[in-house]
Amino acid sequence: MHKQSHPWRITFAELLILIFAFGVVAVKSYRVVNDFSRISLQGELNLNSVAQIQAALAMNPGVFNTLQFEDSPGAGAAATIILDKIEVLINRHQLRTEAIGRCASACAAAFLLGSTRSLLPTNDHTPTFLMIHAIRNHRTREVNYGKTEVVNKKIASKSLGKFPLSLLNRIFDDKKGTGDGEIYIYREPQRTPKGKHQVFVCDGAPHRLISECDPVPGVTPESLGIQVRP
């Protein structure tokens, strides 16, 4: 994980307040890095982690300007509520977003709504990637086409048009017509029988290897408005 950091001086009392407010469940850390500060989250997103982000921003106005997601499968129940709340915080505080390792589902959507978006390397050389799919009802698994299309338009807008709706809407591509498609965006090119590629569209069928999905030639994170940082 990208963790070059500088000490952040706080009093012992302030430290106790931070520990009490944030705990150790979702908001993994808070540190100053390269003249800006971030809130780092690891694992599944939930309403508790959103509440902790809100508390961190409220208690320290003007200190944090980056949300970092690490190895997140997204959110389970209440995913749309969680995404909406994170979007409000991103827009209110003009938060940048970073991803390390897997950032899937609601994590990928939240990441792509950042004021700027950066993919960082992992410490163990596992790939950093995004996985985007349609928003679904947690109970019935039905695709919420209206909400998904709204989010897709916001993602395209955040990228200043670099992430085209024509590509985003390919998450609805699948052989059964159930909207089960997925888009994968890798920080590093992935070697496949069709060459090295960074963006893939999967049709919703079970896939063991990314090479079983369709590559999108010539498309990179940078071309989609996503920074790739060392």
For residue range 14-58, what is the model confidence (pLDDT) as tens digits? Answer: 433 443 344 333 455 555 554 558 899 999 999 998 999 999 999
CATH number at residue 153: 3.90.226.10
Q: What is the pLDDT of residue 67?
A: 96
The mean pLDDT value for 81-86 works out to 96
Q: Under a CB-based contact definition with an 8 Å cutoff, are residues 4 and 38 in contact?
A: no
For residue 206, the enclosing domain spans 12-228
Q: What is the pLDDT of residue 97?
A: 98
Let me know if residue 5 belongs to a domain.
no
Let me know if residue 92 belongs to a domain.
yes
Let me know if residue 50 belongs to a domain.
yes
Residue whose tokens read 């569209």: 201
pLDDT above 90 (res 77)? no
Q: What is the pLDDT of residue 15?
A: 35
- By CB atoms closer than 10 A (0-12, 13-18, 19+), residue 184 is buried
pLDDT per position as a tens digit, 122-165: 999 999 999 999 988 777 778 888 999 999 999 999 999 999 99
Locate 7 and state its tokens.
Answer: 């000490």
* Number of structural domains found in the chain: 1
Distance, in Å, from the CA atom of 125 to the CA atom of 138, rounded to the nearest integer, reads 32
Distance, in Å, from the CA atom of 83 to the CA atom of 90, rounded to the nearest integer, reads 10
pLDDT per position as a tens digit, 162-204: 999 999 999 987 655 556 789 999 999 999 999 999 999 998 7
Let me know if residue 190 belongs to a domain.
yes
Distance, in Å, from the CA atom of 135 to the CA atom of 142, rounded to the nearest integer, reads 8
Let me know if residue 17 belongs to a domain.
yes
Dihedral Cα 41, 190, 125, 226, nearest 10 deg: -40
Let me know if residue 217 belongs to a domain.
yes
Let me know if residue 43 belongs to a domain.
yes
Nearest alpha carbon to residue 43 among 102, 97, 126: 102
Locate 202 and state its tokens.
Answer: 């999967």
In whole angstroms, how large is the CA radius of gyration of the chain? 18
pLDDT per position as a tens digit, 98-118: 999 999 999 999 999 999 999
Locate 58 and state its tokens.
Answer: 């409220």
Q: Which amino acid is at 29?
A: S
Q: Which amino acid is at 179?
A: G
Let me know if residue 75 belongs to a domain.
yes
Distance, in Å, from the CA atom of 165 to the CA atom of 59, rounded to the nearest integer, reads 37
pTM: 0.84
Q: Across-strand partners of 191? A: 196
Q: Across-strand partners of 38? A: 31, 66
